[in-house]
Amino acid sequence: MFLRHSLRSLAVVFLLVALVSVLYTPAIAQVAGQVPGDSLGATSDSEFWRGIRQGNAGQVSIPNAQAGILIQSEGDNWRAVRNGPLSAYGAVALLGMVIVVALFFAARGRIRVEAGLSNLTIERFSGIERFAHWLMAGSFIVLALTGLNLLYGRYLLIPVLGPEVFAAITELGKYTHNYLGFAFMVGLALSFVLWVVHNIPNRHDAVWLLRGGVLIWGGHPPAKKFNAGQKILFWLVMLGGLSVSLSGIALIFPFQTSFFADTFALLNGFGLPLPTQITPMEEQQLNQVWHTAMSLVLVVIIIAHIYIGSVGMEGAFDAMGNGEVDLNWAKEHHPLWVEEIEEKEAAQRHSPAE
Ligand code: HEM
């Protein structure tokens, strides 16, 4: 009786031990990096993890195919470029331009109207022209500040404001940036339509450029409504603005565009060996780097423009302020344009309709 009871207990214990060992053996094997059953399988663990680390895509049953990529290694490169050379060169360029403008002001002073103010005025920009300029300029300035905050705010503002205030400001700034981008595009398009005819290069531009414009040497090279320097600014703003707008749209609506693959394919038509198999994620990364780099270039240029359109040149701001400039200012900076206006007015005075 006792023997039978003991044997039964022993059998139960044996079964329990067998069960526990069956349950735990695979887990222990996996912790040790082995495939259950001690066989190596088709791929070794190191190959398997290397594949994941290098961005190999697995299969997923959800619609988001990108979820099949567990580690997206290009992101490391993108972050290194954004937080490294892009931020560093951008900061150098921005500070560099501020220093250049300050040195220029120290050396050249305010550019005066040589003949003195005449106190007679001539209309330089109509209401719609000023509206277009200020829509473009006002939105650009807010976009620049909110954009620069995304790039440099964490270094400059967190130590001063603390993380909570910085986070609140940055969130507000991000939404402002996204919506105001469209106002900038409208201002840009309107300015293009209104001014493109005045910005087609002509023979006077070469003379203007050779004589260094009024800025460096003084003197008054001939110019129509816009001089060569202004035409360069116009085309930089238009082409740079378009490029920043397109890359901005690609960032607001992610994974919908293939601007880089398309552009590279186009450029390859001229013999360049650029990659055209670009993943949606890489498109986003390229768009982000391009958007930032082009915006920094524009901001650097616009610092010089704001200087010359305000404190740097006597009488310039009025053109975009009330639309009227002093006649002597106009004759000195845009003599051919004044002649055109005066001829037009004379023709109107003598037209048979009057
Ligand atoms: C406070 C900021 C700004 C001031 C004071 C300012 C001032 C001026 C003035 C006075 C003019 C007319 C120059 C003339 O009569 O010939 C002008 C023209 C122009 N501005 Fe601005 N501006 C500012 C910001 C901007 C911004 C942010 C942009 C572009 C993103 C811009 C783009 C232009 C363009 C394309 C022209 C026509 C070409 C030229 O005159 O150079 N401006 N601006």
Closest atom of ligand 1 to 334 CA is 16
- The SS3 assignment for 279 reads coil
Neighbours of 170 (CB within 10 A): 18
91-142 pLDDT tens trace: 999 999 999 999 999 999 999 999 999 999 999 999 999 999 999 999 999 9
Instruction: For residue 177, count other CB atoms closer than 10 A to its CB.
Output: 22
Ligand 1 atom nearest residue 230's Cα:
41
Ligand 1 atom closest to residue 316's alpha carbon, by position in its atom list: 10
Among the atoms of ligand 1, which is closest to the Cα of residue 226? 16
Give distance in angstroms: CA of 306 to centre of ligand 1. 7
Tell me, what amino acid is at 320? M
Q: Is the pLDDT of residue 214 over 70?
A: no
33 band by pLDDT with thresholds 50, 70 and 90 = low
Ligand 1 pocket test target in 123, 133, 225, 310 with most atoms within 8 Å of CB: 133
Of residues 280 and 152, the one with the higher pLDDT is 152
Q: What's the Cα-to-Cα distance from 123 to each of 154, 226, 326, rounded to whole Å?
A: 45, 14, 9
pLDDT for 265 equals 96
**Among all chains, which residue has been given the structure tokens 């719609």?**
128
Percent of the chain past pLDDT 90, that is, above it, reads: 70
pLDDT band, residue 23 (cuts 50/70/90): very low
Among the ranges given (72-81, 239-248, 305-314), the one the predictor scored with the smallest mean pLDDT: 72-81
Q: What is the band of 177 on the pLDDT scale with cuts at 50, 70, 90?
A: very high
pLDDT mean over 276-305: 96
Residue 259 has pLDDT above 90, yes or no: yes
What element of type H or E holds 326?
Answer: strand 324-326
Sequence-distant (6+) residues with CB within 8 A of 71 are 52, 53, 54, 55
- Listed in sequence order, the residues at least 6 apart from 249 whose beta carbon sits closer than 8 Å to its beta carbon are 181, 257
Question: What is the share, in percent, of the chain residues with pLDDT greater than 70?
Answer: 84
DSSP states of 95-126: HHHHHHHHHHHHHH-SBP-TT---S-EEE-S-
pLDDT at 32: 53
What's the 305 CA to ligand 1 centre distance in angstroms?
Answer: 6
Taking the CA of residue 310 as reference, the ligand 1 atom at the shortest distance is: 5
Q: Indicate if the pLDDT at residue 254 is higher than 80.
A: yes
Nearest CA to ligand 1 atom 35: 234
The CA distance from 198 to 75, in Å, is 44
| Ligand 1 site residues, Cβ closer than 6 angstroms | 124, 133, 136-137, 140-141, 191, 226, 230, 233-234, 237, 302, 305-306, 309-310, 316-317, 319-320
Q: Whose CA is nearest to atom 26 of ligand 1?
A: 137
For residue 125, give Cα distances in angstroms to 34, 121, 122, 250: 78, 12, 9, 34
Dihedral of the alpha carbons of 49, 52, 55, 60, in degrees to the nearest 10: 170
Q: What is the best residue among 122, 305, 320 to mutate for testing ligand 1's pocket, by most ligand atoms within 8 Å of CB? A: 305
C-alpha of residue 208 to centroid of ligand 1, in Å: 19
For residues 196 and 175, what is the distance between their CA atoms, to the nearest angstrom? 31
3-class secondary structure per residue, 186-250:
HHHHHHHHHHHHHHCCCHHHHHHHHCCHHHHHCCCCCCCCCCHHHHHHHHHHHHHHHHHHHHHHH
Band (210; pLDDT cuts 50, 70, 90): confident
Q: Is the pLDDT of residue 17 over 70?
A: no
Of all protein residues, the one whose alpha carbon is nearest to atom 3 of ligand 1 is: 306
For 274, the token pair is: 């650029």
Q: Is 87 helix (H, G, I), strand (E, B) or coil?
A: helix
Mean pLDDT, the chain, rounded, equals 89
* Per-residue model confidence as pLDDT tens digits over 45-96: 788 788 888 878 888 899 888 788 888 888 889 999 999 999 999 999 999 9
Is the per-residue pLDDT at 25 higher than 60? no
Residue 35: pLDDT over 60: no
- Give the number of the atom of ligand 1 that is nearest the alpha carbon of residue 225: 16
Q: How far apart are CA 209 and CA 220, in angstroms?
A: 11
**CA of residue 31 to ligand 1 center, whole Å:** 66
| DSSP state for residue 313 in the 8-state scheme | B
Tell me, in angstroms, the distance from the centre of ligand 1 to residue 242's CA.
17
Q: Report the residue count for the chain.
A: 354
Centre of ligand 1 to C-alpha 215, Å, is 16
The residue among 116 and 351 whose pLDDT is bigger is 116
* Helix extents (H) in the chain: 2-31, 45-53, 74-81, 87-108, 127-156, 158-161, 163-195, 203-210, 213-217, 228-252, 259-268, 280-309, 317-321, 327-333, 335-349
